[in-house]
Structure 1
Amino acid sequence: MNIIQFNEIIELLHSISDNSTANIIALVSVIISGIAVLSSIYFSVQTRKQYIDSLSPLLSFRLYEKSGYLFLRIENTGQSEATEISLTFKELSNNGEQNKFELDEILKSKLTLYPNETVTGGICRSGRNIVTSIAPVIKIEVSYIKGNTKEKIQFFRCICYTGTNDENVFMKCELEDISRKLNEISCSSNRMANYFEGRFFLKSDVINAYPSSSMYKDLKDAINKTEREEIKENTRDELGNLHIE
């Protein structure tokens, strides 16, 4: 074997080696791409599943007393309808001598509640009297079909007494909050009016004072560098005394 043949063999081995490296790189690239595609599919499936789960119905229960009777309120606070809602009342306790269910017909039938819909039905007489205080607890079995997946859900609930129907209390709190915000707006408007008018009136002052100037006059005076006397009438002084002319 001469030197020329030996060099040809060396070049051939180098060529094979280079091709093997390229093939390995290509194979690794294919594997990485495949993993990326599978990961994308997996996370897409998981995201879709989580989104569908977020649309599930959610039943909330509240037990309260009104006019000597105990009522159960059911509300769907979820994002889809709950169909074929079935309630099985198991046990009633801590209601004085009244420990037997007297259910309204609506609670005996299967219900359908769409998002934010509610249904209320009486369950028994209140055991409250002069000598007996109550804190009723009911145990029920609930089943329904989820509107988003058509899956049947069954669970057991223990519902505690929440007092009287407090919708009026919630409304009172809302009205108080609205009143407070309106008062804040009124105070802010009064401060702005005092600032622009150059007067001093309290929010409680009911005075239809005639304006002593206007924006046109003020801008004209500012351009002409004209000074005006401070308003002394139809305002309050530094001590808070009201001066009306």
Structure 2
Amino acid sequence: MANASLQSFLLPQHHSFANTGTHDSSPSILHKHTNSSSSISFRLYSNTSPSVTTTSTPNSSTPTPVTPAAAEKTPAPTLDLLGRQLAAGDYRQADETTRALLIELAGESARRRGYVFFSEVQFISVEDLRAIDGLWREHSNGKFGYSVQKRLWEKVQRDFTRFFIKVGWMKKLDTEIEQYNYRAFPDEFVWEIKDDTPEGHLPLTNALRGTQLLGNILMHPAFEDGQEEEATEEGVTATTSGQSKDDSKGRERPKFMKDFKPDYSF
């Protein structure tokens, strides 16, 4: 088990994007890819063999190494970087930084792999996840953030399809029958605060491997405060309206959340 903390990522660090595709235990960097189906994926590239171009001068036959222009250094993901991006209203870049932070915090295996397994969410500390969520809420007037998504998810009885529609991750199709489809990344998502920007629209969580990753983030202990009080109020409302306890069974914690056993089959 790996326990990462943002404190270890607050020091200035830089990585080069001009690297080979070899995977090993050496320092590595995150590179984003978008496939034809508009799903987001990530790959990790080794940072030990930077590509180098050479030039030669008339007075020497020895090639002179030249750093390629593409090898611009990019800052490591930190809370400070995320805060600055959000304060500047750069929500798209902040979304990518948030995703990179989750990978860093989930442990060494996630960093080598380049993405987080749902079973690794438990390795992210309450303090770190709350700090990330707090920055999103602070710089969006409470419109974005994981805790906002958690509240909306609970309101639709943890139905992910209804949740995706509510936060605007799915769009309604122009058809006679009411139908929805997933938005194409990144152009069809909303990267600014407007009057019609759906609440909870950001940050995004890749559901390419299913909804268990998002489910574990929303069910993280970092967002449990206040849930008991809300559940109690809803229980009183249900009793007053004559609903039976069986009507609330859909709100119980899913079995995979209770067991929380690693399952890498997806």
Give your verdict on TM over 0.5: no
Q: Which structure has the larger Rg over C-alpha atoms?
A: 1
Length-normalised TM-score, structure 2: 0.18
Instruction: Give the strand-richer structure, 1 or 2.
Output: 1
Structure possessing the higher relative contact order (Cα contacts under 8 Å, 6 or more residues apart): 2
Length-normalised TM-score, structure 1: 0.19
